[in-house]
Amino acid sequence: MQGNIELYPWFQFFRNLLFWQGIWFLYFQQELSAAQAVLLYAVYDIATTALEVPSGYLSDRVGRRVTLVLATLAALAGCLLLVLGGSFAIFALGQIALGAGSAFGSGTDTSLLYESLDREGREAETEAQELRAWRYSFTALAVSAVTGGAMASWGAEWAFLATALASAGAVAIACRLREPGPSPEAEAAGPAQPLTAAGWFSGDNPALLWFFGLSVGMYVLSHIPFVFGQPFILEALGAIGFAQDAPVVSGSVTAAMMLVSVVTSWTAQPISRMVGRGALFLTALGMLVGLIGLLALTNHPLAIALLLLRMVPDSLARPFILARLHRLLTDRRRATYLSFQSFCGRLIFALSLIALSTKTSEGTRLPYEEIQQILFWYLGAGLALLAALILTLRAQRETA
C-alpha cells in the first residue's frame, strides 16, 4: 500500500498530460464545424455517462487496479483515433474512447488512494494526500497546455499524439499498482446489498444529498468555461485582429489557469480552518457562478484573464469534498457512489449541450452573441442551485 501512495501522484501526473486541452475545440471546428464541435463534446459526455455507474460497479466488485488499467488503455486508444481524424464518425469514436477512459478512472482513482491509506492506518492524511495529488495533476495540465498550444502551430494532431504517449506512461504505472483488497469491516459485513441510489440519500446519511447537489453543480459549472472558453478567446482576439493567435493564447491561458490552481491549493487548508468547510464549499460554487456571469457580460480581450480563475474553486473545495465523502461511504459502495454522482453531472451537462447545440450556427466559428446566450442560461441555473444550498446548509451540520 505504501507503493500505491507513492505512485498515485505520478499516476495522476501522466493521466493529466493532456496536450490537446487548449486546442481541441479549435481543432474540431476547423475539421468539421462549430455545431459539430459542441456535439462532439456531448458525445464524449454521453459515453462517459453511459459507463460511469457500470465502471464504478466493476471497480467495487472486480478491483481498483484492473479498472485503472482499462481506463488508461481506453484513453490511449481515444487519442490515437483523434490523431487519425478524417470524419465525424472517427472523431466520435475517439471521443467515446476518451469518455470510457474518464469513466473507468472516475471514483476508482481516489478510492484506491483512500483505501491504501486506510490499510496503512493513515486515513487521517486523506485531505493532505488529495491536495498533493491535485498539485501533480494540475502541474501536468499546466505543462501540457502551454506545450500543446505551441504544437498546434505545426498541426493539432501532434497534441493528441503527445497525449497518447503520456497515456502509455499512465498504463505502465497503473500496471504497477496493487489492489488494496477489502477492509476487515467490509469482510465482516458480507456481500453488499443490492444497488439502490435511494439508500445513499436516506436519513442515515443526510449530508450525502447536500454534497451530491454541490458536486454535480460544480462539475457542470466548471465545465462551461472549458467548453466555451476556446471559442470565447477566438472571438475576443478576432475583435482586435489576432484570431490567428488563438491556439497559442488558449494553450497559454490554460497553462496559467492550472498554475494558479496549484498555487491556490497551498492556501486551501488554512482557508478551510479559518472560514469552515461549509462556507468554503459555498464560496467555491459562488466563484464559478460569478465567473460565468462576468464572461456573459463582456468579451473584451481583457476578460480572457478571467479564465485563469476557472479551476480555483475546485482546488479550494474538491479535496475536502472527497475526504468527507470517503468517510461517509463504505468500501463496497465507494466507487459506485462516486461514479453515480459523476454520471448525474455528466448527464445533465451532456443533455444541456445537446439542447444548446441546436441553437448554434453551422459556421466554422461560434459567435460571441451565441456564446453569451448560452452563458446566461447556465448563470440562471447556477444562481438557483447556490440559493438552494445556502438555504439548506444550516440543516446539514455535517458539512460545516
Place of cell 439548506: 392
Each residue's pLDDT tens digit, 275-286: 888 889 999 999
The answer to whether residue 264 scores a pLDDT higher than 70 is yes
Q: How confident is the model over 341-360, as pLDDT tens digits?
A: 888 887 888 788 777 766 66
- For the stretch 178-198, pLDDT in tens is 988 766 555 544 444 444 444
Residue 385 pLDDT > 90: yes
- What's at 194, amino acid-wise? P
Confidence of residue 206 (pLDDT cuts 50, 70, 90): low
In this prediction, residue 183 carries a pLDDT of: 63
Residue 290 has pLDDT above 90, yes or no: yes
Q: How many CB atoms lie within 10 A of CB 157?
A: 18
Q: How far apart are CA 81 and CA 77, in angstroms?
A: 6
The three cell numbers of residue 249 are 493564447
The Cα angle at residue 226 between residues 376 and 150, in degrees rounded to 5: 140
Question: Looking at 36-50, 63-77, 93-107, 265-279, which range is the least confident one?
Answer: 36-50
Q: pLDDT (tens digit, 9 = 90+) per residue, 355-382?
A: 776 666 665 567 888 888 889 989 999 9
pLDDT at position 205 is: 60
Give me the numbers of helices (H) and strands (E) for the chain, helices first please: 16, 0
- Enumerate the H helices of 85-107 as residue ranges: 88-105
Q: What pLDDT shows up at residue 192?
A: 47
- Is the model's pLDDT at 340 over the cut of 70? yes
- CATH 1.20.1250.20 given to domain 9-181+199-399: yes
When pLDDT is averaged across residues 65-88 and rounded to a whole number, the result is 90
Q: How far apart are CA 371 and CA 228, in angstroms?
A: 7
For residue 394, give the DSSP letter: T
Who has greater pLDDT, 333 or 274? Answer: 274
Task: Determine the longest span between alpha carbons in the chain, in angstroms.
Answer: 67
Domain boundaries, the chain: 9-181+199-399
C-alpha cell at 76: 490511449
What phi, psi does 191 have (nearest 5°)? -60, 145
Residues 6+ apart with CB under 8 A from 84: 90, 94
